Amino acid sequence: MTKLKFLIYVLLLVNTVFSQEEKKPLKMGWNIGHKNILANNPNVLFVVNGTILDKAILEKIPTNKIESLEVLKNEKATLIYNDLGKNGAILIQTKEISEVELKNLYKLYPISFELNLKQKLKVISGQITDCENVSLSNVLVQNLNTKKSTFTDSLGKYTIEVRKNDILSFSNRNYQSQRIQFVKQKKIAISLKAIPTSDKIILKKPVIYLYPTEKTDIDLSINFDGKMLTTFPKLEKSWKVTAYENGQIFDKKTNRFYNSLFWDGEISFPASHYQYKTGFVVEKENLTSFLIEKLEFMGLNTVETNDFIQYWLPILEQNKSTFIHFLVNEEYDIFSTNNVSPKPDTSIRILMEFFRVDEPISIAPQQLPSTKRNGFTLVEWGGSDVSNMKPIDYLKIN
């Protein structure tokens, strides 16, 4: 689980657990892709190893260094922490972090800051770059003690007033924030690491089979509103092939025979796309029988079903339990459409979206269509792991 996912995971539970009648410990292992919870979260108290800290501390604690995590409801948190706990508290116990590291974190992420009035006020300068040494403009530079702030200019440069032991924060919504303590530096140069974007998914292994009723020259191109990554054989504007009744495909450019045409790509969807209303939760030991049953019901033949399972089963079996939702035929069009000349009489297109499930979820079974083959038939299948996009609706404990 990444730091960002874990942080969102914690804050999600803040919104749900505090309203429950009984205190429940937080459970580990969920993958959460929803990013909008952070902005609307109440002022929950974060307590790390008994020390009250700013919630930004969670960005700096590796998830594998967390021994335990517990939620206190408002009433119990208030009994322990008085008014500071009126919105509830999250208690975190760390492991395998040195005392020196912890002391530094406590210093950089206190719950509040005071003016160091006994120290002399100075003006320092510095420059902010990314990890490739490219200057970053519009980075917010804050003195958390004085509450004064500035932004970097077009060259990534800034100046700001500081006193000894003041804490400076450097932040930009596209980069991981940093804090440092000013001691006596004349210049402070900072390199910020970009926040990985997770709004894109990879559409993996779409393969296209062609079954004309007789030997046929076919021109096939793909409309894909994303970034195409790999094609085989190499796709220029279109594939110009000769297809045979037995499914063999002869590519005129490479002068080779193929069983199918392959491509994959990267694409983005709005969050609403991942708000599944139906689907299946499949245990690891049931994956093979489930896929055979559903794929053949939807119209794949034995060879196509075997190809699908041989590719996806090793990936799906990494999970004890997997949520699966199929996009079939016209539903597949939100990913891509095919321009095929001559036009097939029958198209069977199946795309599987899935994510790992770590807690029981309740969802209505998906009603799948069954397509019968008639005449010239095109078959296409692919899949995508949407774990980073998983909607929070499915993370509620039943």
Instruction: Render each residue's pLDDT in the chain as its tens digit; 398 residues.
Output: 445 445 545 554 554 544 444 444 333 332 223 233 333 345 789 999 999 999 888 888 887 888 998 889 888 999 999 988 888 899 999 999 999 999 999 999 999 999 999 999 999 999 999 887 888 888 999 999 999 999 999 889 999 999 999 999 999 877 889 999 999 888 999 999 877 655 678 888 899 999 999 999 999 999 987 888 899 999 988 999 999 999 999 999 999 999 999 999 988 887 778 888 999 999 999 999 999 999 999 999 999 999 999 999 999 999 999 999 999 999 999 999 999 999 999 999 999 999 998 877 889 999 999 999 999 999 999 999 998 775 534 433 23
Tokens 């000013």 — which residue?
A: 182
Residue 32 CA to its chain's centroid (Å): 7
The side-by-side arrangement of strands in the sheet containing 190-192 is: 157-162, 122-130, 190-192
Q: What is the spatial distance between Cα 38 and Cα 302, in angstroms, rounded to a whole number?
A: 47
From its phi and psi, is residue 88 left (phi > 0), alpha (psi between -120 and 50) or beta? Answer: left
**CA dihedral over 296, 302, 308, 311, signed as positive or negative:** positive
Residue 9 CA to its chain's centroid (Å): 12
Cross-strand pairs, 190: 128
Tokens of 342: 């001559």
Q: What is the spatial distance between Cα 276 and Cα 280, in angstroms, rounded to a whole number?
A: 10
Nearest to 323 by CA among 398, 397, 385, 388: 385
Annotate 32-52 with b (16+ C-beta within 10 A) or e (fewer). Answer: bbbbebeeeeeebbbbbeeeb
Q: What is the spatial distance between Cα 40 and Cα 22, in angstroms, rounded to a whole number?
A: 23
Q: What is the spatial distance between Cα 218 and Cα 261, in angstroms, rounded to a whole number?
A: 12
For residue 115, give the amino acid letter: L
- Phi, then psi, of 371 in degrees rounded to 5: -115, 125
Tokens 């939100």 — which residue?
A: 334
Q: Cβ-count burial of 211 within 10 angstroms (0-12 exposed, 13-18 middle, 19+ buried)?
A: buried
Map residue 301 onto helix, strand or coil.
Answer: coil
313 with 353: CB under 8 angstroms?
Answer: no
Tokens of 207: 């393969």
Supply the pLDDT for residue 107: 95
Tokens of 92: 């975190």
Q: What is the spatial distance between Cα 200 and Cα 216, in angstroms, rounded to a whole number?
A: 37
- The alpha carbons of the chain give a radius of gyration, in whole angstroms, of 27
Q: What is the spatial distance between Cα 47 and Cα 237, in angstroms, rounded to a whole number?
A: 58
Q: What is the spatial distance between Cα 369 and Cα 297, in angstroms, rounded to a whole number?
A: 8
Q: Which domains does the chain have, with CATH numbers?
A: 3-108 (no CATH), 122-192 (2.60.40.1120), 200-395 (no CATH)
Instruction: Kindly give the pairing relationship between strand 321-328 and strand 278-283.
Output: antiparallel
Q: What is the dihedral of CA 48, 53, 58, 61, to 10 degrees?
A: -50
Map residue 91 onto helix, strand or coil.
Answer: strand
